[in-house]
C-alpha cells in the first residue's frame, strides 16, 4: 500500500495578508490626530456673558498692578521688571488677605497677561482679580 503525501506546493494558502490594511488604518489615524485640533476650535462659538460690576465682599488687602499697552508693568505706582515684580509679590503674598488686582490695557497681548499671571502664581499669589470698566446702561 502506497501512501501519498501532499507537497507544500500543492496546498493553497489560506492566510489573509492584513499588513496593507493596517498601514492604511494607521495613516488615517495619523491624519485624524493632526486635523482634529484644527477643526474643533472653529466649530465652537462661545458668547461670553456680560455682567454688571459686583462689589467685593471680603476684606482683602489689594495691590494694584497695571500693565500698559507696551507690556510694561507698574506695581503700586512704580515701574518694575518681571524679576522685581516676582520678588515684590513673594513678599506681599505672605499675608492671607493679599489680593492682586490686575488692570491691563486692552491692547496688551494675551501672552503678556499670561506671563504676569504665571509670575504671580509662581510667587505665591492665590487671589487675583482683573479690573475692567463696568458696562454703562443707556
- Helix ranges (DSSP H) in the chain: 19-43, 82-92, 110-122
Nearest to 100 by CA among 92, 111, 91, 109: 92
Q: DSSP state, 137? A: P
% of the chain residues with pLDDT over 90: 12
| Average pLDDT over all residues of the chain | 78
In degrees rounded to 5, what are phi and psi of residue 42? -70, -30
Phi, psi for residue 49 in degrees, rounded to 5: -75, 150
pLDDT the model gives residue 104: 82
**113 phi, psi to nearest 5 deg:** -65, -40
Amino acid at each position: 500500500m502506497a501512501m501519498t503525501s501532499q507537497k507544500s506546493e500543492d496546498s493553497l494558502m489560506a492566510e489573509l495578508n492584513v499588513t496593507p490594511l493596517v498601514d492604511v488604518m494607521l495613516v488615517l489615524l495619523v491624519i485624524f490626530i493632526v486635523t482634529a485640533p484644527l477643526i474643533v476650535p472653529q466649530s465652537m462659538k462661545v458668547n461670553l456673558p456680560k455682567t454688571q460690576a459686583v462689589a467685593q465682599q471680603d476684606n482683602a488687602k489689594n495691590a494694584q498692578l497695571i500693565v500698559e499697552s507696551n507690556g510694561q508693568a507698574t506695581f503700586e505706582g512704580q515701574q518694575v521688571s518681571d524679576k522685581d515684580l516676582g520678588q515684590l509679590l513673594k513678599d506681599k503674598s505672605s499675608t492671607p488677605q493679599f489680593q492682586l488686582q490686575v488692570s491691563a490695557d486692552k491692547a496688551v497681548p494675551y501672552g503678556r497677561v499670561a506671563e504676569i499671571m504665571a509670575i504671580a502664581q509662581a510667587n505665591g499669589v492665590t487671589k487675583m482679580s482683573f479690573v475692567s470698566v463696568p458696562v454703562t446702561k443707556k
